[in-house]
Amino acid sequence: MSQTFDTENETKTKDSKETPGCENKESYCKLETVTRERSQYSPGLSILKKAILLQCIVYISLPVILCLFPWILGHVVFSHWLRIPYLVDLASPAELSLNHTLNFYLSPEEGISLGVWHTVPDSQWEKAQGAGPEWYSETLGDGSPVIIYLHGNVGSRAINHRVELVKILSAAGYHVLSLDYRGYGDSSGEPSEVGLTSDALYLYQWVKTRSRTGQICLWGHSLGTGVATNAAVKIQEQAMELARERARDLRAVTQADLEPSYAADGVILEAPYTNMEEEVASHPLSMMYQCLPGFQSVLHHVMRSNNMVFANDENLKTLTTRILFLHAEDDNVVPFYMGQKLYQIALQAGRQRYAEDQVHMVSYSGSLGYSHNYIYLDPNLASVVGRFLQSKNNNIAQQIVR
């Protein structure tokens, strides 16, 4: 009896010793079951994690790529490689109903050829038929104002809104010279701020030698506003230096002697930006990176590496010529506030010279839908420009809201 009892106790003791092992085994089995159940949902979670990781990599890599290859941003800003409209013969402006327009080429420096259109006033349409370069060149001295049109980025001088503006200005009695900067349209070379400014300055000087006493106005649109103010500052500096040289041995020269008469006759800025860095920073894509630490420094580095400043805000502080701003409130490329800011800068600079009457702005309500490229649709645009060009000796209203 005692042996049997002891045997049973030993068996129970053994069972009790094995029990913890069984419990561990059961726990392991439960854990394996839960893990297996969770694994059924892991493919979806894994894809989501990978997608988020990919977005983070792309988000962070873009500034890094721009920092390593700053020329990419330069190509985006200039967008000269988008040669729209396609299938257009720039050598035949008559195909675009510019049948009193001469296509010709200028060479501002060795290896660079610039495509230019010269559209005469509508009143000379009949005489222009069959006329050659010599006749067109001589017409620049007929006393009619000359407008040098400096377009924005993307495409050539043949884009529709540019052609339509030329037609309106021609109908209003102006000569219009439309320039494709180096790298644009059928012009050779690669664009840069220095290069574009040099092209505009060369065309201005070419016109100046032929226009005699006629007015010459620089009209810049979007990217071209920076080109226009750059060129206007250069024109002013060169003219003032020439005046100093001529007067050095004759009499003392004051700043007042050198200013208005030696500046360009006028500058029209359509959809202008403050400077290129601020314009790029205001782009929706750039706005996504404003919260990324160091992005502003990266952007500044990239812009300087490309030598792209286009500082309209700084140029307007020194310009002494008449200035007209045209900007639509619904501009979706260059924010309207930039045009307002530039107007205030120019106005303040004018006040310091007692010449604030030379600064004018026309604002277009967003309800008109003119946006960035369609201010030419304003039925009163020709009269606005006419009053501006006639305001050399007359004061006109400074700011007009349409």
Sheet of strand 216-221, all strands in order from the earlier edge strand to the far edge: 101-106, 114-119, 175-179, 146-150, 216-221, 266-270, 323-328, 359-364, 399-401
Residues composing the chain: 402
Report the alpha-carbon distance of residue 299 to residue 45 in Å, rounded.
Answer: 35
Report the alpha-carbon distance of residue 172 to residue 99 in Å, rounded.
Answer: 16
Residue in 187, 327, 372, 378 annotated catalytic: 372
Confirm whether 175 is a catalytic residue: no
At residue 119, what are phi and psi to the nearest 5 degrees? -105, 120
CB 236 within 8 A of CB 263: yes
Residue in 144, 156, 187, 222 annotated catalytic: 222
Q: Is 217 helix (H, G, I), strand (E, B) or coil?
A: strand
At residue 263, what are phi and psi to the nearest 5 degrees? -90, 170
- Token pair of 347 as six digits: 């106005």
> What does the buried/exposed string (b/e) look like for 306-338 if buried means 16 or more CB atoms within 10 Å of the residue's CB?
bebbbbbbebbeebbbbbbbbbbbebebbbbeb
- Token pair of 305 as six digits: 């590496």
DSSP letter at 188?
-
Helices in 212-269 by DSSP H: which ranges? 223-247, 255-258
Confirm whether 222 is a catalytic residue: yes
At residue 372, what are phi and psi to the nearest 5 degrees? -95, -30
Confirm whether 186 is a catalytic residue: no
Residue in 180, 199, 313, 331 annotated catalytic: 331
How crowded is residue 252: how many other Cβ atoms within 10 Å of its Cβ? 7
Catalytic residues, by residue number, are 222, 331, 372
